[in-house]
Structure 1
């Protein structure tokens, strides 16, 4: 159930939208034409949730809010487009002397944006992150680091996204395209893993609101309908069969088969 109201007078044009689903509701509100703010609340029973939604609706009516006639023109869904997502990763990657500096900049930047923008950044990240969950890329990571657990592969894919759209797309098509970047890491004594970026949006939310990660995950799921479900993956390679790995990626094997980054 969704209800949308607007309020207009000589100095103020505002919207208010409430959406109820199951045991919870989410409210979005702000100036007309803006992204607005977000609040959510969960109840023990659907009846309690219904009663609170009805109470809030009646309260808005008493304050002079009226049913909206054009929701699309009134509420700007987000300013954080897919193009801006990649631009932010590029800015973060090139900021400071190491990834920590870039991630600090990214968290601070996102914390100044609306909650919907923070969520939308995370949604774009998650979409591309899931697309990188491939058997070939896992085999490549296994060769590069001399082994690769589930968590290790998660952090490897996070590092890959941080390298930018061009590097990411090339690696999905051919993991050996990463060799120049891996050589640079090796010279620096680093490994291709970046766990911290997985939590950048959540940290930005906490910095902005003071609320914890559970609140963020609840809002993320309500806004995106994305429950962060881990995909299942059937590997088409055997870690015990070195010859098959060597045949898959001979360039990577030549560099890291006997001397992995670790």
Structure 2
């Protein structure tokens, strides 16, 4: 259930929208024509949630709020699109001498955006990030780094995504295409991992609102409906089967099999 109310008088021109879904609701509010601020509240039952929502609607209407017309352009849509998401990654890579400075810039830049844009940025990240959760790419990461735990593979995939859409898609389709993009890391004796990118959006949210990760996650799920859990991978390789790995990715094995990138 969604209800949008507006309030107009000589000095005010604002909206208030509540969206009830199951045991929680989200409220978006602000000046008409803006994206507005967002907050979420959860309850133990759907009945308690609906009761509280009805109470809030009645309270707002007593204060002079009236239902918005369906044709009214009450809220401005957020500016975050998938194109903007990839452009932000590209820009971030130009904003520092190393990934630490680049992620710091991204967090700072995101924290200045509306909360909804922060959440949608994270949504695009997660949807694209999930594409790289494959047996083939895990095998490639294992060869390149001489091993790849669950966490290590997560950080590897984040690093790969940070290289940009074209490289990301290319390497997912053919992991051996990653080799030219590892040259800088070889020279710096570094590894292809970027843990900090995984939490960039939630840290930006915390900087903007002062609220913690649990509150951010509740808002994220409420606004996007995304509770995606990576599926179980059916591995077609075995870490102890050296011949199998050599056969699977011969070029990667020739370059990194006996000389992996390690800390």
Bin for the TM-score computed over the shorter chain: over 0.9
The 8 Å contact of residues 6 and 14 in structure 2, kept in 1 or not, is answered as yes
2: CA distance between counterparts of 1:119 and 1:189?
Answer: 34
Q: Which residue of 2 aligns with 1:215?
A: 215
Query: CA–CA distance in 1 between the matches of 2:38 and 2:111?
Result: 14
Q: How far apart are the structure 1 equivalents of 2:225 and 2:238?
A: 35
Contact 1:6–1:66, Cα closer than 8 Å, also in 2 = yes
Q: How far apart are the structure 2 equivalents of 1:38 and 1:197?
A: 24
With normalisation by structure 1, the TM-score equals 0.95
Equivalent residues in 2 for 1:22-171, closer than 5 Å: 22-70=22-70, 73-171=73-171
Pair 72,261 (structure 1): closer, same or farther in 2 beyond 3 Å: farther
Distance 1:154 1:72, change over 3 A: farther
Corresponding residue for residue 239 of structure 1: 239
**Does the residue aligned with 1:64 lie in a helix, a strand or coil?**
coil
Q: How far apart are residue 232 of structure 1 and its match?
A: 1.5
Counterparts of 2:72 and 2:181 in 1: how far apart (Å)? 44
Q: Which runs of 4+ in 1 moved over 6 A?
A: none
Moved more, 229-238 or 183-192: 229-238
Post-superposition offset of 1:11: 4.7
For structure 1, the 5+ residue unaligned runs are none
Gaps in structure 2 of 5+ consecutive residues: none
Cα pair distance change 1:146/1:140, threshold 3 Å = same
Report if aligned partners of 2:133, 2:230 keep a CA contact under 8 Å in 1: no
1:22-41 CA-partner distances (Å, limit 9, x unpaired): 33221011222321110111
